[in-house]
Amino acid sequence: MKFWKSQPSRFSLYLYLMLSIVCLLVVSFVVLAYGQAKYERALENRMLSIRLAEELRQSSNDLTRLVRAYVTTGNPAFKEQFQAVIDIRDGNRPRPLNYSLAYWDFKAIKAAQQPDATEAQGDAVPLLELMRKAGVTDSELENLKKSKASSDALVHIEHQAMALIEEDSPTNPLKREKALKMLVDDHFLSIKAEVMQPIVLTEGLITQRTQAAVNEAQLRLKMAITSLFVFGALLVVLIVKLRQQLQMIIGCSIPELQKTIANLGSGDFVSPIEVDQGRADSVLGWIAQTQRKLAELDLMHIKAIVDSSDDAIISKTMQGIIASWNHGAEKIFGYTANDMLGKPMQTIIPDDRQHEEPEILARIARGEKVDHFETQRRHRDGHLVDVSVTISPVYDPKGRVIGASKIARDISKAKAAEAEIHRLAFYDTLTGLANRRLLMDRLHLTLAKATRDKTGFAVLFLDLDNFKSLNDTQGHEAGDVLLKEVAKRLNTCVRESDTVARFGGDEFVMILNSKHENTEHAGDWVEAVTQKIITSLALPYQILDISHACTTSVGAAVYTGQPCTASDLLKQADQAMYEAKYAGKNGYRIFKPSLEKSGAAP
């Protein structure tokens, strides 16, 4: 793509700059963390150095206070505390972990003795060594050593004062007074000033030096924070630029691209992909070109499938105008595409089924699908074709129904096979009359209806006379011809609502319906119909170029509302037929209860 050839340098530049800014941000963060730690260490060293200098001054004050308390009270606890202060300061005794400037003030308040044995102890380190480790300079350390030397001189005087009061027991008041004067005279105070002056000077030097370190660390910290903000702002700008450049390459936003790819993945090659002007060479433009090619390929595949299908595949508008007509439709209906395109669908719909098309179009307009609708359509030559139709709505990109797609399958052979199966199941293969199974079904229905409507009907049982002699002399083919002719004559003797059935061999059964009510003379009409049948069947037959005469014996059972079953009626008609046979054939008998009681049999 041309766009990829002309634009990658800018995109790569933004990408590399962004990666560089990220690296700088990481470095700035490290510097910030380091500066913060250094700043905190500078503050800590400053506080520690000042505290240790103040501890030297406080230790001198504590020694003076303790020796005066001892001289005044003679309490040995103060002397022991006095010695503990010296030992801790000189590193001869472990330093308590909670050692502070007010440590011995709390001990005096509690009138405590030496530090508790249970008290947490640290290392035994001289105070000057702690100051050196805290980072004081050599000049600052020299000043502190001078102060320490002056403090040691005071300790010497303080020891002399304590020794003076210990010469007598009990202590001589005059010596106590002299000892107190030793601790407050000008010599003592001048040495005391020599202790304090270097400490104050050193504290000033420490404050000035550590403040500079703190200021430097603070400046670096501010610079690191500023760098973080600057690099962060640059990163945001580069991300925006990179997003814009990426959007130019893609041709749309990331969610739109994901939606477009998802639609393609689902097989939607129809919905148009909108590409902004000037972005035809973007990824979206390439996808749009791919979609068009896939749509063309998909259309070719669909066209190949439609053209090769034996089913009729037809599309039509919502007005029922045919828009497409495949080879399968030509084969099924006999019309070519040129004959049918632009024509109404009613062209192939029989007159008695014209109402179906508006109903189907109404369902399609509601977005419904018509599945396996069995109907008939007219072939070009006029004969009707049984078809199974499936019709689906066709939508535009906005989801509106704009037409219908129809698939019609020719089911004429299946219908014919179904009819043949039905015929074999319920009709005699030789004569086409109802068989015994269908006869019994209709007899049950007729009996139920007559009982409900209080009407009558008759069951006739017919047996051809001397049929066996025709089979023996002329063969079974002649017998079959006779049976077919008998079936035709029987059908002409009754109405369409009656039933004519071949019961088996040369036996036939007829069900004759009557609209008369069940009265005493309700069966009179049966004799007239029976006589008509006998007369018709007695006429000569032309069978295989020979003339043949055949008569029949008929037995009738009339239903006039009496309690009975279908089998009972059939049995009664059979008995009456045998009575007709015994009476000389070519006649009829109507069943009466006396026949059943006499046990008439063949």
Burial of 463-484, coded b for 16+ CB within 10 Å and e otherwise, reads bbbebeebbeebeeebbebbbe
Q: Is 574 an active-site residue?
A: no
DSSP three-state, residue 102: coil
- Start-to-end Cα distance in the chain: 103
Please spell the DSSP secondary structure of 137-180, one letter per residue.
-HHHHHHHHHHHHHHHHHHHHHHHHHHHHTSSSSPPHHHHHHHH
CB atoms within 10 A of CB 555: 26
Among 281, 410, 465, 506, which one carries the catalytic annotation?
A: 506
CB atoms within 10 A of CB 231: 20
* Cα(547)–Cα(3) distance, integer angstroms: 101
Q: Are 364 and 404 in contact (CB under 8 A)?
A: yes
DSSP single-letter state for residue 523: T
The structure tokens listed for 385 are 């074709």
* Cα(370)–Cα(413) distance, integer angstroms: 22
Place of tokens 């027991």: 169
Residue 354 — φ and ψ, nearest 5°? -65, -25
Place of tokens 């990481």: 26
Tally DSSP H helices, then E strands, for the chain: 20, 12
CB atoms within 10 A of CB 125: 13
Q: Which of 540, 523, 529 is nearest to 492 (CA)?
A: 529
Q: Tally the residues of the chain.
A: 602
* Cα(489)–Cα(539) distance, integer angstroms: 10
Q: Which of 21, 16, 20, 15 is nearest to 228 (CA)?
A: 21
Q: Which of 86, 141, 144, 80 is nearest to 112 (CA)?
A: 80
Q: Are 405 and 329 in contact (CB under 8 A)?
A: no
For the chain, the C-alpha Rg in angstroms (whole number) is: 64
According to DSSP, the β-strands at 541-543 and 552-559 are unpaired
* Cα(105)–Cα(122) distance, integer angstroms: 20
Q: What is the distance of C-alpha 291 from the center of its chain?
A: 26
Question: What positions carry a catalytic annotation?
Answer: 506
